Structure 1
Amino acid sequence: MSEFAPTDFSLVKPADTAFKPGGLRDFFLYRDLGIAEATHGKVIAHLVKANSPPDSGTGWHRHEADFQIVIMTKGWAKFMYEDQVTLVEAGDVVQQRPGIRHFLFDYSPDMEYLEIVSPADFKTVDVEAPACVVPEPTPWK
């Protein structure tokens, strides 16, 4: 028997939840997958997709989380992880170590990714930029 609190069964079909604004970033839309409720706050999973061009990106930040993965399902995104440019394309999986400084600065109009984070109420903290240059985003046509 697990020492963890039980979780509930959950099935969320595409028609059950819509992409909505109001998440962490105004230029993205978010689709809740019901995992935070089913796990009683232990984990959150949502789909995130581009809603407008990456004019200024996310800015430098880190997350106060125990676990975070991003699975790119469509398109691509460019991140700065510390001082490294990282291209993440459809099919790629990124496991972001807790506390890593990062900046999503560019993405395609069709970008969509699945993000899974624990705990569900993780915090985002703005941080100072490392000593590196962030490239300009690609203009949308």
Structure 2
Amino acid sequence: MLDRTKTTFSHVKPTDTDYVSGGLRDFFLYRDLGVAEATHGKVIAHLVKANMAPEKGTGWHRHEAEFQIVIMLKGWAKFMYEDQETLVSAGDCVHQRPGIRHFLFDYSPDMEYLEIVSPADFKTVDVEPVCAIPDPTPWK
């Protein structure tokens, strides 16, 4: 049975938290959904949206995390997962297995996704390139 003493109830409305810069990537904005605080760092849930046109993308990296999903809410993003190009469109859900090497290299101006990761203080580790990356689509 779930031990409810280790987590708290949380209800965050759209007006409760703002999108802010200063997250993992400077070309994205992040909106905290209160889950990291409610779970005492077990899980983080935040909204991520495009802030600037893609120029270089995220670079090749992996996360030291036990669990990670991305649910695309608006727009689209193109990832390389290992050597496989993957288009993630609104409505899609991606489970990124622990340690998978990936590179987000292109996205639409209206891209917005929900990301849920455990633990909340997961680490991002740069890795050697797996393969060549296609050029991003210029924004008009």
- TM, length-normalised to structure 2: 0.97
Residue 21 of structure 2: aligned partner = 21
- Alpha-carbon distance in structure 1 between the residues aligned to 2:66 and 2:95: 11
Residue 68 of structure 2: aligned partner = 68
- Alpha-carbon distance in structure 1 between the residues aligned to 2:113 and 2:5: 28
Residue 135 of structure 1: aligned partner = 134
Q: Give the match's secondary structure for 1:41.
A: coil
Cα deviations across residues 43-96 of structure 1 (Å, max 9, x unaligned)? 000000000000000000000000000000000000000001000000000000
RMSD of aligned residue pairs (Cα, Å): 1.1
**Unpaired segments of 5 or more residues in structure 2?**
none
Q: CA deviation at 1:5?
A: 5.6
- Alpha-carbon distance in structure 2 between the residues aligned to 1:114 and 1:11: 16
- Alpha-carbon distance in structure 2 between the residues aligned to 1:5 and 1:126: 36
Residue 113 of structure 2: aligned partner = 113
Alignment map for 1:71-82 (pairs within 5 Å):
71-82=71-82
Residue 93 of structure 1: aligned partner = 93
- Alpha-carbon distance in structure 1 between the residues aligned to 2:74 and 2:58: 19
Residue 12 of structure 2: aligned partner = 12
- Alpha-carbon distance in structure 2 between the residues aligned to 1:30 and 1:115: 10
Q: CA deviation at 1:133?
A: 1.6
Q: CA deviation at 1:2?
A: 3.3
Amino acid at match of 1:20: V
- Alpha-carbon distance in structure 2 between the residues aligned to 1:13 and 1:40: 20
Residue 36 of structure 1: aligned partner = 36
Q: Give the match's secondary structure for 2:36.
A: helix
Summarize the Cα distance change of 1:93–1:52 in structure 2 as closer, same or farther, 3 Å threshold. same
- Alpha-carbon distance in structure 1 between the residues aligned to 2:24 and 2:52: 14
| Percent of aligned pairs sharing the same letter | 80
- TM, length-normalised to structure 1: 0.97
